[in-house]
Amino acid sequence: MSIVVNIYYRGENGNARKFAEEMETSGTVAEIRNEAGNERYEYFFPKNDAETVLLTLTTLRR
């Protein structure tokens, strides 16, 4: 059984998107994706809201 968590990051002046980009470029996202039980860790950018980022995390329930 999997658990899905959706988190909205909101910011001003592009900071939510900058946060997601920094997580990617720093290698943090790669480390999270390689953790045991992690099935999905993805960022999505809403077309109509430049100040919001959606993080979707899916993990196996232990």
Look up the CATH number of the domain holding residue 22. 3.30.70
Predicted TM-score (pTM) of this structure: 0.84
CA 15, 18, 24, 26 torsion-angle sign: negative
Cβ distance 60 to 2 under 8 Å? yes
Strand partners, 4: 58
Domain containing residue 8:
2-60
- Averages of pLDDT over runs of 10 residues in the chain (62 residues) are 95 95 97 95 95 96 75
Looking at the structure of the chain, the number of domains it has is 1
